[in-house]
Homo-oligomer: A and B are copies of this chain.
Amino acid sequence: MNAMDDDPQMDELVKKLLKRNKRAIAKAITLVENHPEECELFIRKIYPHTGKALVVGTTGPPGSGKSTLVNNLALEFRRKGKTVGIIAVDPSSPFSGGALLGDRIRMDELSSDPDVFIRSMGSRGNLGGLSRATMDAIRVLDAAGFDLVLVETVGAGQSEVEIVRTAHTTIVIGIPGTGDAVQAIKAGILEIADIYVVNKSDRPGADEIARELRLLLTLDPHAKDEDRWHVPVISTTNLPPIDGISKLADTILEHQTFLNDPKNAGLALKQEMTRRKNEIHEIIKVEIFENMLTSLIGKQEWEKILQDVITKKTDPYSAARSIMDPLFR
């Protein structure tokens, strides 16, 4: 333990967090979101208490009923006796901590439950830092002892993909009426889904899109491998009688059983190794870059180089090389 690790206030926060104190949880997430330096020490302290929660990522386009679906899923897991943390990530929103993503149903039915914690996270203009902060926020909820952490995020862009890659199980949501199965490809289904959900399946065309998706999934060259997880397509509705949610919850647990099955040669561990490797990569990339660049080049030199690029005296690649040159000599 370093000398700087000795921070009684932080130790107090960790202690309360481990007891699942809601104020401590909120404070801890604010810390990982807004205070990168303290965050590092804080994560060091809570890291040994993590790794127990099942992390479920959910992604889908705006308007796909994602938040309501995640609410219903949380209620379903509560009925099964599980404690649930929810992180609603919105890379395009400058808002954090508020209730923009939390609709009224969520607030009413879930917020008052002592075994549920809900938090929304926005980008505050810092897209790169969002996946980093989200990963650490998941850790906060994990350390607080929630059985499940549900992460929802909009769309299927790079930061969303990064965010859902931190999950053990990834759900991709689509809805009928926004196009056909080709749109599903566009939404990234083939790449990142462990479970595909056709939400709002009370709408016309739902059976058709589910059928098309199943067909598409059989086109995967590995579709017939026995030792492989076959992405199921589950139809759900957000309207009463809420349909399919129970099946979805069961399928999530089945996916976990599959990953942890000794027959599958430590798939869960292998995935965990990849996740941690990517994470360490990311930390190093940001750190090296920030430390190096500021030491390599001053503001005036920057101005000069940019001028040269704009006036076509040089090009961006050559400019980058000239800045980096001192490093590789």
Contacts and interface: CB of A to CB of B under 8 A. Distances in A.
A276 B154 CA distance: 29
A98 interface: no
Contacts of A316: 43, 47, 276, 279-280, 283
A277 B302 contact: yes
Nearest to A48: B312
Nearest to A155: B155
A253 interface: no
Contacts of A309: 276, 280
Interface string A228-239: 000000000000
B306 A277 contact: yes
Interface string A66-94: 00000000000000000000000011111
Contacts of A47: 312, 315-316
A183 B63 contact: yes
A248 B292 CA distance: 44
A92 B127 contact: no
Interface in A140-191: 154-162, 178-179, 182-183, 185-188, 190-191
B161 A315 contact: no
B324 A288 contact: yes
6 contacts: A61-B61, A61-B63, A63-B179, A92-B186, A158-B158, A277-B302
Contacts of A319: 276, 280
Interface string A84-126: 0000001111100000100000000000000000000000010
A62 interface: yes
Interface in A275-307: 276-277, 279-281, 283-285, 287-289, 291-293, 302, 305-306
Interface of A: 40, 43-44, 47-48, 50-51, 61-63, 90-94, 100, 125, 127-128, 154-162, 178-179, 182-183, 185-188, 190-191, 269, 272-273, 276-277, 279-281, 283-285, 287-289, 291-293, 302, 305-306, 309-310, 312, 315-320, 323-324, 327-328
Contacts of A100: 182, 185
A36 to B, nearest CB: 10
Number of copies: 2
A92 B280 CA distance: 24
Contact of A291 (B187, B289, B328): B328
A280 B312 contact: no
B312 A62 contact: no
Contacts of A312: 47-48, 50-51
Nearest to A302: B277
Given A43-B315, A183-B63, A276-B316, A156 B157 contact: yes
Nearest to A305: B280
Contacts of A310: 269, 272-273, 276
